Each structure stands twice: as structure tokens, then as C-alpha cells.
């Protein structure tokens, strides 16, 4: 008799809290067995095995609580993948190679699970492709969403010309995040305004190209968690914050707060189409609502934060994720599994 496929892996890192606990609770309520795995514990505290042979393939995860066969895993939530935690005594040259090998081995393990029929949020290939921000912007525009004028370059002369084109209303940001989370434990580069004083100090672009966008006037900003074709909307107004005016994440905790948000039906439909076209099940979309009521698309983050929307507004995002992970049928309830 084949093993029961009732385990849902919740992949995160040891510094992650609240959201993963909420999803675990909702998965358990639906009769499946949530197993939290702190991926920064690999390879020192976790063991993964992927085997290919004439009789087929096998994937196995071993944690402190025991062995988990791939055929017992129903679904995987890729909440966060942490960097491998390695022995500090390793020489730097060996350490770099061990990090690469560990990441490649874990990705192979995930590929094996997906090939074995596990449901993923998000599917691996879609997750990788969706991090292409320029592709997002082109697709969003093709679906009828308004996007800011955008330049990605390491050419200072192009930046100065673009600054004139947008009449000095310019912001800069990165194509990819430097951090694993928003808790301040790792470097984080915020969206920043670019003024005339910055135009003569663009030499650092030779080390790292950047994204430059037209600065859009804001009435407020929206974070939209799109889960399986449903939109959960939170709104924030950081216009009274000096530090958070360009990027709300820099605002002080007392300067602004999340409020229930709304989307016009046509904008919601286009966001759902965008997430589906990217092949994603979940995406966190950032929008600007202008003073005259236009909705301007900024980006969709396949692993973007949503805990503040559930915690402060009561939006049932964890339940929607759990429902998608467990899918159609309800399973007999099992005792909750200890996390790693």
C-alpha cells in the first residue's frame, strides 16, 4: 500500500516567524501535516538525497524528527530559501564552493519533488522566471496596466539624459533584493530619490547597474497579495513621513499604518491575469494610486511579504495559501508535526 501523501513542506529560514506559523496552522486545520524546514540548516542540520536509477527516482529529506520520503509530500510552500549554514572553520576558498554545491543539491532535491508530482507555491521554473523585473513590466503593460517610464543601465550619460526626460522626477532601485527578509538582519537597499546632486556621482554604476524610474505622485500605495486568482488588498499612506515618502518601508512605526484597500474590478482582473501569465500561484504586487485615481504598477514579488496585511487587517491570506497547498480533497486530521 503506497504511503499517504499528507505532508506539506513549509520551506523558510530560522529568522522567519508569524507567516509560516499561520500557514502551518491553516494547513493542519485542513487535515494535512505541516512540516516547517529551516533551509539555512542545510547541510549541517538537514540531509537531502536525490537518487536516479533504472527503477526510477527517489527523493528523501531527513530532519531531526525523522525521514520524510518524497512520495509522502503533497505540496511545498517556498516561503524563503536561506543561505547554507557552514562551519566557520572552513577555509574561504572551500566555503564558497561548499555554498554553491549545497545550493545546487537543494535545488536538485526540489526539482525531484516537483517531478514526483508535488504541488509548489510557486512552481520552480515560474518562480525563477518571474524575478525578471523588466519582463514583468513588459507583460504588465501588454495586459493594460500602467507602468512608470523605466531605464536599466550602467551608463551615467543615459541616466543624466533620462533625468532630463522625466524633468528631474527620478528614483533608483535594484533589480534584485539583497536581503532575505525585512527584519534588518541583512543588507537592504531601498528605493531612493535621485536629485541633481547625484548626477555627477554615478561612477559606481560601473560596479552595479541599477533601475531608474520616473517618480510617480502618490495618494497612497497598495500591497496586493494575489493567491490562486484572489486579491487581498492593503493600503498605506506614507506621505507625511519624511523618510518613507519615496519608500514606505523606511517610515517609522508610528508614522503610517495599513488600512483596508480596494481595487477597481478591471485592475484586479489584470493583476490576476499577470500573476497567472507569469505561471505563479502567489505574488505580492506593489501599486501606486495617484492623486487623480490612476493605478500604476511597480512590480510583483513571487515571495513578497503579506504578514502585515493578515496581522493588521485580518485578511485571510494564510488560509488561501493553505487551501491551495492542500487542494481539492480534505484529509483526515493528523497531529501537528514539530518544526525544525
Q: pLDDT tens across 259-293, in order? A: 999 999 999 999 999 999 999 999 999 999 999 99
Q: Percent of the chain beyond pLDDT 70? A: 86
Nearest to 188 by CA among 178, 176, 198, 201: 178
Half-sphere exposure (Cβ direction) of 97: Cα atoms closer than 13 Å: 5
Nearest to 340 by CA among 75, 68, 153: 68
Give the contacts of 269 (CB within 8 A, at least 6 positions apart): none
Evaluate if residue 252 carries a pLDDT over 70: no
Ramachandran region, residue 285 (left: φ > 0; alpha: ψ -120 to 50; beta: rest): beta
How confident is the model at residue 198, as a pLDDT? 85
Q: List, in order of start, the domains of the chain with CATH numbers.
A: 7-121 (3.40.50), 128-145+217-313 (3.30.470.20), 149-215 (3.30.1490.20)
The predicted model scores a pTM of 0.87
Nearest to 35 by CA among 68, 71, 2: 68
Q: Rounded mean pLDDT of 249-258? A: 70
Mean pLDDT in the chain? 87
Evaluate if residue 244 carries a pLDDT over 60: no
Q: How many whole angstroms separate alpha carbon 46 and alpha carbon 329? A: 30
- 188 confidence band (pLDDT: 50, 70, 90): very low
Give the contacts of 171 (CB within 8 A, at least 6 positions apart): 191, 192, 193, 194, 212, 213, 214, 215, 246
Evaluate if residue 249 carries a pLDDT over 80: no
Amino acid at each position: 500500500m503506497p504511503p499517504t501523501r499528507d505532508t506539506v513542506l513549509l520551506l523558510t529560514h530560522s529568522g522567519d516567524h508569524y507567516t509560516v506559523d499561520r500557514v502551518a496552522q491553516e494547513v493542519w486545520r485542513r487535515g494535512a501535516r505541516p512540516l516547517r524546514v529551516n533551509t539555512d540548516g542545510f547541510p549541517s542540520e538537514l540531509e537531502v538525497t536525490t537518487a536516479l536509477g533504472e527503477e526510477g527516482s527517489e527523493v528523501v529529506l531527513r530532519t531531526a524528527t525523522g525521514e520524510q520520503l518524497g512520495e509522502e509530500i503533497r505540496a511545498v510552500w517556498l516561503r524563503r530559501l536561506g543561505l547554507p549554514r557552514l562551519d566557520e572553520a572552513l577555509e574561504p576558498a572551500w566555503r564558497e564552493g561548499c555554498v554553491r554545491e549545497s545550493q545546487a543539491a537543494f535545488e536538485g532535491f526540489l526539482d525531484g519533488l516537483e517531478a514526483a508530482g508535488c504541488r509548489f507555491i510557486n512552481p520552480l521554473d515560474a518562480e525563477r522566471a518571474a524575478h525578471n523585473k523588466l519582463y514583468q513590466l513588459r507583460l504588465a503593460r501588454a495586459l493594460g496596466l500602467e507602468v512608470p517610464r523605466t531605464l536599466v543601465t550602467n551608463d551615467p550619460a543615459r541616466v543624466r539624459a533620462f533625468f532630463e526626460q522625466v524633468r528631474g522626477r527620478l528614483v533608483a532601485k535594484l533589480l534584485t533584493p539583497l536581503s532575505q527578509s525585512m527584519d534588518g538582519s541583512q543588507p537592504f537597499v531601498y528605493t531612493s530619490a535621485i536629485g541633481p546632486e547625484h548626477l555627477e556621482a554615478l561612477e559606481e554604476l560601473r560596479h552595479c547597474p541599477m533601475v531608474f524610474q520616473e517618480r510617480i505622485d502618490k495618494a497612497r500605495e497598495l500591497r496586493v497579495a494575489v493567491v490562486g486568482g484572489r486579491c487581498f488588498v492593503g493600503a498605506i499612506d506614507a506621505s507625511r513621513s519624511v523618510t518613507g515618502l519615496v519608500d514606505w518601508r523606511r517610515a517609522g512605526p508610528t508614522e503610517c499604518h495599513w488600512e483596508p484597500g480596494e481595487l477597481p474590478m478591471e485592475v484586479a482582473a489584470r493583476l490576476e491575469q499577470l500573476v497567472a501569465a507569469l505561471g505563479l500561484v502567489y505574488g505580492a504586487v506593489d501599486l501606486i494610486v495617484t492623486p487623480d485615481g490612476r493605478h500604476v504598477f511597480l512590480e510583483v514579488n513571487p515571495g513578497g511579504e503579506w504578514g502585515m496585511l493578515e496581522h493588521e487587517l485580518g485578511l485571510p491570506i494564510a488560509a488561501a495559501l493553505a487551501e491551495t497547498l492542500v487542494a481539492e480533497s480534505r484529509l483526515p486530521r493528523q497531529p501537528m508535526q514539530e518544526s525544525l
